[in-house]
Amino acid sequence: MKKLIALFSAFLILSGCAGIMGGGNPKIKSLEATSTNITAQFFLALGESVVAYESALLAVGNKTEAERIKSEAGNLREDDDKDKLESSIGMLNEVDLSKELEQAGELSAEGKAQIGAAILHLGIAIFYDGIVATEVPAVVTDAKDIQQNLSAADAMQAGSIANIITNASWIANIAPDQLALLKTNFSTLKAYADAHGIPVPSQEEIEKEASSLQRE
């Protein structure tokens, strides 16, 4: 699981506050810490969705698409270009698990296990994306408020605050739609698993696993 955090750690630069703390102003320090945390959670959710989609696609025998998903994740690891990142997220959002499952034949024992794993990882992605979608609007609001009332003593933090606003606004525009798609694919996988007698993790197990990532 630690690999999933490391996979997207490079993207903390997008928050504009990685390694930069807001002088002695506790409000700015708190804002920067929250922004960094939300950015990490956003990319953790993205990383979990990559693992989930790869597992589901391998389960139904679509190795070509699974490899494409895996390759895209590899590209993201080295890239902090938002345009390319948006393109990669768009590619992930185009994965149609409903269609893939409709075309699937009888699954092997390994395939069934991969469906269970996909459900687990999608559940974790939903857990974190849900937090992000709920909390990121407040980051934008708080950052704009601080920006409008910035004192002379904190003037050097203007650039950092502007970056936080840009980053949080960007995430706020993406997270809700991404969350809706994750929930749709989760329901699709869960319904398929239930119909085919495939064991799946409980919501309690999903939340426990998701919470454990925060402690690592």
* pLDDT of 203 higher than 90: yes
Cα–Cα distance list, 206 to 74, 168, 200, 211 (Å):
25, 26, 10, 9
Q: Which residues contact 153 (CB under 8 A, 6 or more apart)?
A: 23, 25
Give the tens place of pLDDT for each residue, 31-86.
999 999 999 999 899 989 999 999 999 999 999 999 988 887 765 554 566 777 78
Which uninterrupted H or E stretch holds 200? none
Find out whether 143 and 31 touch, Cβ atoms under 8 Å: yes
* pLDDT of 164 higher than 90: yes
Q: Which residues contact 47 (CB under 8 A, 6 or more apart)?
A: 4, 5, 7, 8, 73
Check residue 104 and give its pLDDT: 83
The angle that helices 26-59 and 109-148 make with each other, rounded to 10 degrees, is 160
Find out whether 114 and 56 touch, Cβ atoms under 8 Å: yes
Check residue 91 and give its pLDDT: 82
Check residue 57 and give its pLDDT: 95
Give the tens place of pLDDT for each residue, 92-139.
888 889 888 988 888 999 999 999 999 999 999 999 999 999 999 999
DSSP string, 27-40: HHHHHHHHHHHHHH
Interatomic CA distance for residues 56 and 95, integer angstroms: 10
Query: Would you list the domain boundaries of the chain?
Result: 2-9+24-135+176-215
Give the tens place of pLDDT for each residue, 16-25.
444 444 456 8
Find out whether 146 and 161 touch, Cβ atoms under 8 Å: yes
Give this prediction's pTM: 0.85
User: Would you call 92 helix, strand, or coil by DSSP?
Assistant: helix
Higher pLDDT, 150 or 49: 49
